């Protein structure tokens, strides 16, 4: 892939992800995940999808390849998802065989809540038909000295062939994203990409 100097690709890690499915009102979902994370000290990073009523129907956890936070082992990720599924009364669902890439791209420009927020329809229109964009919400549990906190943001979950990935790089730059993670299913690798807007490089 021909990239310009505005992007910096991080060291790849072994890809892993898992999904739990069920039904929970968002306040209950957040409360239970916080309790589970407080007990087992895990950082749950991924995204959730909701039904038409706004209830959480699935949560997909990924290995977030950012050095600042450290990378959780696959064994710990698997153990943590089993515990979370039990606490939520959800079921662990195999994601099955996948190909191409997946990128969870934030729709908020940067991290300032007053910045413009884009839409999934806008993203899909910009990418065209070769990449599928679906709406979700990123969900990240953070362990800090002051306690456990949660970060959420509307996102577009992008899937397509690796040959189309360069379009996602261009889009991330256009939407002034600081960074995004690429999951390469063919090579079973995940890596972080920093853009020219990144203010806290790994």
In this prediction, residues 165-186 reach a mean pLDDT of: 95
The structure tokens 């256009």 sit at 174
Given a contact cutoff of 8 angstroms between Cβ atoms, the answer to whether 131 and 105 are in contact is: no
Q: Which two tokens stand for residue 138?
A: 């990123």
Given a contact cutoff of 8 angstroms between Cβ atoms, the answer to whether 131 and 164 are in contact is: yes
CA gap 172, 9 in Å, rounded: 13
Using the predicted structure, report yes or no on whether residue 182 has a pLDDT greater than 80.
yes
Using the predicted structure, report yes or no on whether residue 2 has a pLDDT greater than 80.
no
Given a contact cutoff of 8 angstroms between Cβ atoms, the answer to whether 165 and 51 are in contact is: no
Q: Which two tokens stand for residue 117?
A: 């927020």
Residue 185: CB atoms within 10 Å:
18
Given a contact cutoff of 8 angstroms between Cβ atoms, the answer to whether 34 and 150 are in contact is: yes
For residue 5, what pLDDT is reported? Answer: 59
The structure tokens 């129907």 sit at 57
In this prediction, residues 57-67 reach a mean pLDDT of: 93
pTM of the model: 0.93
Chain segment 3-57, per-residue pLDDT in tens:
555 899 999 999 999 999 999 999 999 999 999 999 999 999 999 999 999 999 9
CA gap 36, 31 in Å, rounded: 9
Question: Distance from CA of residue 177 to its chain's centroid?
Answer: 14
Q: Where are the beta strands (DSSP E) in 37-87?
A: 45-50, 56-62
Choose the weakest-confidence range: 18-27, 109-118, 153-162, 176-185.
Answer: 109-118
Using the predicted structure, report yes or no on whether residue 110 has a pLDDT greater than 60.
yes
């Amino acid at each position: 892939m021909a990239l310009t100097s505005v992007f910096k690709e991080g060291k790849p890690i072994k890809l892993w992800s898992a999904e739990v499915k069920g039904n929970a009102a968002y306040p209950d979902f957040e409360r239970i995940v916080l309790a589970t994370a407080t007990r087992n000290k895990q950082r749950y990073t991924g995204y959730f999808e909701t039904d038409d009523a706004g209830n959480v129907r699935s949560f997909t956890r990924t290995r977030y390849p950012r050095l600042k936070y450290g990378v959780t082992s696959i064994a710990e990720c698997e153990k943590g998802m089993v515990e979370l599924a039990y606490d939520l009364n959800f079921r662990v669902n195999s994601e099955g065989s996948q190909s191409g890439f997946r990128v969870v791209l934030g729709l908020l420009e940067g991290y300032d809540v007053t910045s413009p927020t884009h839409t999934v329809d806008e993203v899909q229109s910009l990418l065209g038909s070769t990449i599928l964009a679906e709406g979700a919400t990123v969900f990240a549990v953070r362990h800090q000295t002051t306690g456990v906190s949660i970060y959420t943001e509307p996102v577009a979950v992008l899937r397509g062939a690796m040959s189309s990935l360069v379009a996602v790089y261009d889009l991330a730059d256009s939407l002034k994203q600081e960074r995004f993670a690429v999951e390469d299913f063919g090579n079973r690798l995940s890596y972080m990409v920093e853009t020219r807007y990144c203010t806290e490089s790994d």
